[in-house]
Amino acid sequence: MNRNKKIFAKILISASLLIINGFLPIPDRSYLQLAIYLVIYGIIGGDIVKKAVKNIIHGQVFDENFLMVVATIGAFFVGDYIEGVAVMLFFQIGELFQSYAVNQSRKSISQLMDIRPDYAHLKIGETFEQVDPDEVEIGDTILVKPGERVPVDGVVTKGSGLLDTSALTGESVPRRVTIEDAVLSGCINTSGVLELKVTEEFGDSTVNKILDLVENASSKKAASENFITKFARYYTPTVVFLALALALIPPILTGGNFSEWVHRALTFLVISCPCALVISVPLSFFGGIGGASKLGILIKGSNYLEALAQTDTIVFDKTGTLTKGTFEVQHIQPVNLSKEELLKLTAYMESFSTHPIGASLKQAYGKDIDKNQVTDLEELAGYGLKGKVFGKSMLVGNEKLMKQEQIDYLVPEEIGTLVHVAINQSYAGYIVIADQLKVDAKQAIYDLQHQHRINTVMLTGDTKETGEAVASSLGIPKVYTQLLPGDKVTQLETLLKEEKAGHKLAFVGDGINDAPVLARADIGIAMGGLGSDAAIEAADIVIMTDEPSRISTAIHLSRKTLKIVKENIVFAIVIKVLFLILGALGIASMGGAVFADVGVTVIAVLNAMRCLNVKPFEKEISQSKARQTMSPASSTN
């Protein structure tokens, strides 16, 4: 029987016995009545007494269990048997609500734990054998059948299919993969048989890193949680001594009835339990982290969730974060030959290149290239390429190459990476290549600026013209260009110095050269689904999708969570203080005390459970996707 069922059974049995006892003709405050109530008390409160005694033995005296035991046993000593049992009964009802809420929070985490693969089909010789994922090594070939979970990261070498990535990214639409596509562990192959070449061992794979992040998230407490822990540490012994003083000092000074003041002191103790704060605040953060994981947003600790809610400046890297990081040919401007011929000759010159610019030119050409037609190829570092194609002398590169070879060239108005071409020492034209903006980048920046009142800044290693063009198209007012990785750290430190006290600055990046900046910011956010391992390790928050708009969702969720935390803190403290005063004055009854303790706890816990509701955010994401389908992707020029 699980814990919730045990508590429920105790409540049911105790409540039934209380009702039956009310109909029995037993004299009030008789030994028989005391015996019956002690049996009921043992059923409903026995485990609480055990906990209190155990904690006292271990030096943890002043906790809620101790307060409950002292208050309820004290009620028995002054003859209030039914109140002693009732207080423990309602305390257990509060425990039941708390346990249910914690289980609901853990469900969102345990669902994520289901992504852990149980086995892998490893190719040994010409057959595949089922082995533990830990036994798979980099370079091995594994087989993933339909319906199976990908055990380790790899690249497709054979087959094609659809992958369900929802457990990792929160994305409901399956992703099609084919030969040479990268596949992350934890995804489910929904169709087709895939053979993968392993790129990461299980210990370093995406699925294992995600599990480590989530499992360790609760160890990093927010400032609000630390405040509550310290508050309870000093608050609980204080109210115990105040209750003792309330029971002894007034009757000694006034000659009043000890029984009445002891009753007030016991009521005071019941009211004083800090359960609502101790339970609801961590539960709120735990719920927020669990809810975020459903949306493909992994937050490494509640301290980062709280810091994100206080963020008022977000600094973005450009390439791979706001742009796709993939170059495409945007414009071809030939001189004395056709566009097709200029593109063909340039693609041939770039046929041996692995640079993204060369790849984009070959992709734009889209035809087979006979590399035997390329001769005398020479790479001129920082300038471009020199060689022959079909016997023609070719120069392909930047402005510096044209100037060095004393070739007059056109200065285009288009913004982007320019590839100038000369044939037989005569200028043949230029090709403009530009990175593509991510579909939701512009909407993401707009939402951050207008919905969340966040300042946006962009850092890039690109030229001033390209950087400013991208920033302008996205609506980012401040951009710093031509920055090396070290320059980005220096610029970020300057921005951090400009931050006001109590405000936070976040940096968003994805590449390996972003890791130092991610670590230096107040909050580092990695676009982790396709980002580098170094960026994910250095970041405090990982966006598992490739969508900048999820950052706005993360901000919204963090602020909602912090708002609920503050609501619970204010509500619990105000009600506690009010009832403590009423209890000390003898106005609040034991029933009022029960409400001030259990009632406030239940209300705070139910309020904390709102953090688990991510349906509004899922709706927000679906609306964002709908807008994306209506707005085609744009280039950076």
76-94 per-position pLDDT tens digit: 876 778 877 877 887 787 7
pLDDT at 151 over 70: yes
Average pLDDT (383-392) is 90
267-282 per-position pLDDT tens digit: 787 777 776 777 777 7
Torsion, Cα of 65, 70, 74, 75 (10° steps)? -20
- Asked if 363 and 388 count as a contact pair (C-beta separation under 8 A), the reply is no
Which of residues 108 and 367 earns the better pLDDT score? 367
Query: What proportion of the chain, given as a percentage, has pLDDT over 90?
Result: 19
Range with the poorest average pLDDT among 58-62, 296-300, 537-541, 630-634: 630-634
Question: Does the domain spanning 324-436 belong to CATH 3.10.20.340?
Answer: no
The residue to which tokens 């091995």 are assigned? 140
The token pair at 261 is 């003041």
Average pLDDT (508-528) is 79
Average pLDDT (606-624) is 77
Strongest mean pLDDT among 131-145, 169-183, 233-247, 275-289: 131-145
Residue 132 CB coordination number (10 Å): 13
- Asked if 303 and 246 count as a contact pair (C-beta separation under 8 A), the reply is no
CA distance 146 to 148: 6
180-232 per-position pLDDT tens digit: 888 888 788 888 899 999 988 887 776 666 656 555 555 555 666 666 667 76
Mean pLDDT of the chain: 81
CA distance 612 to 289: 9
- Check: pTM over 0.75? Answer yes or no: no
pLDDT at 98: 66
The residue count of the chain comes to 637
CATH of 302-322+438-539, one of 3.40.50.1000, 3.40.50.2000, 3.90.110.10, 3.60.20.10: 3.40.50.1000
In the residue annotation, 164 being an active-site residue is answered as no
The token pair at 204 is 């370093």
pLDDT at 236: 74
pLDDT at 63 over 90: no
- Asked if 127 and 169 count as a contact pair (C-beta separation under 8 A), the reply is no
Which of residues 485 and 178 earns the better pLDDT score? 178
Cβ neighbours for 539, distance < 8 A, ≥ 6 positions apart: 300, 518, 524, 525, 526, 528
Average pLDDT (545-568) is 89
pLDDT at 342: 93
The token pair at 214 is 């989530």
Angle made by CA atoms 413, 417, 422, in degrees to the nearest 5 = 85
The model's confidence at residue 530, banded by pLDDT at 50, 70 and 90, is very low
Strongest mean pLDDT among 99-103, 136-140, 165-169: 136-140
**Which sequence spans correspond to the domains of the chain?**
3-110+218-285+561-616, 120-151+153-199, 302-322+438-539, 324-436
Which CATH number does 120-151+153-199 carry? Answer: 2.70.150.10
409-457 per-position pLDDT tens digit: 998 877 777 899 999 999 999 999 887 888 888 989 999 999 899 999 9
- Find the catalytic residue in 63, 80, 317, 440: 317
